[in-house]
A and B are shown apart, each in its own frame.
Chain A
Amino acid sequence: ETGVTQSPTHLIKTRGQQVTLRCSSQSGHNTVSWYQQALGQGPQFIFQYYREEENGRGNFPPRFSGLQFPNYSSELNVNALELDDSALYLCASSLGPGVPNSPLHFGNGTRLTVT
């Protein structure tokens, strides 16, 4: 069973730039969720993708956008980067939003630093 993989592991960007983070879901999982975890905090829900469409969004501005592909992999795009966007970005896959007790399986995350 292949777990959730994220790339890159680390990234340094300058304020105002754009970034794309990538995630491959665990085999058998059709739903991908993205979370932002600032240092010393719990993860915050950004959005979820199911069947290539956004299925729920947290309190994040539109410059945070995403995609899900037919193979269930996903991308998180952040435009006009701000210093506060520096965080660990976690991707998680699951069986689907209709399976409520299906636990999320997380990747190791991408550490984004904005200077």
Chain B
Amino acid sequence: AQKVTQAQTEISVVEKEDVTLDCVYETRDTTYYLFWYKQPPSGELVFLIRRNSFDEQNEISGRYSWNFQKSTSSFNFTITASQVVDSAVYFCALSERNAGGTSYGKLTFGQGTILTVHP
């Protein structure tokens, strides 16, 4: 069964610090998709980034970057120069094919990491 583990329950940083959120996943599928979502106090899950299992190129998008390492099943997410507005719960999620191999309907989420950025 697929599983996502976010070992960091809570992280606290001061504004402008860089912060990395760790994510480790388990899957038996060879094709899968990884996502990071942000959940502010309003409750809505906001999509941040995604990565395909067959593309290990790491990228930077604004203040966000991610490090995908298939060999260690890790998909870490970094926020550079953190801001108070980055305070939220961050979820890593894994999407893989269903039993019939026809769709990717289900996301498996980690437990979430609470990030607090202090001014």
For A97, what are the chain B residues with a Cβ–Cβ distance below 8 Å? 98, 102-105
Cβ of A92 within 8 Å of any chain B Cβ, yes or no, is: yes
CB–CB B103/A41 < 8 A? no
Contacts A45-B107, A100-B95 hold; do A88 and B43 have CB atoms under 8 A apart? yes
CB–CB B52/A101 < 8 A? yes
Cβ contact of B42, chosen from A56, A103, A108, cutoff 8 A: A108
Q: Which of these binds chain A: B12-20, B63-71, B76-84, B109-117?
A: B109-117
Tell me the number of A-to-B contacts counted with CB atoms below 8 Å: 72
CB–CB B109/A43 < 8 A? yes
Cβ contact of B107, chosen from A98, A104, A107, A108, cutoff 8 A: A104
Cβ contact of B44, chosen from A48, A103, A107, cutoff 8 A: A107
CA distance A107 to B45 in the complex (A): 7
A residues 17-49 touching B (CB-CB < 8 Å): 31, 33, 35, 40-45, 48
The bracket for how many chain B residues form the interface is 20 to 34
Residue from B35, B93, B97, B106 whose CB has the most chain A CB atoms within 10 Å: B106
A residues 47-63 touching B (CB-CB < 8 Å): 48, 50, 55-56, 58
Q: How far is the CB of B30 from chain A (nearest CB, A)?
A: 13
Contacts A42-B111, A103-B50 hold; do A109 and B105 have CB atoms under 8 A apart? no
Which A residue's beta carbon lies closest to that of B4? Answer: A42
- Enumerate chain A interface residues (CB-CB to B < 8 A): 31, 33, 35, 40-45, 48, 50, 55-56, 58, 88, 90, 92, 97-98, 100-101, 103-109, 111
Chosen A-B contacts, 12 in total, with CB atoms closer than 8 Å, are A33-B105, A43-B91, A56-B98, A56-B105, A92-B45, A100-B95, A100-B103, A100-B104, A103-B47, A103-B50, A108-B43, A111-B43
Q: 19 additional contacts, CB 8 Å, given A41-B111, A45-B106?
A: A31-B105, A42-B93, A42-B111, A42-B112, A43-B91, A50-B105, A55-B105, A56-B98, A56-B106, A97-B103, A98-B102, A100-B95, A100-B104, A101-B50, A104-B45, A105-B47, A106-B46, A108-B43, A109-B43
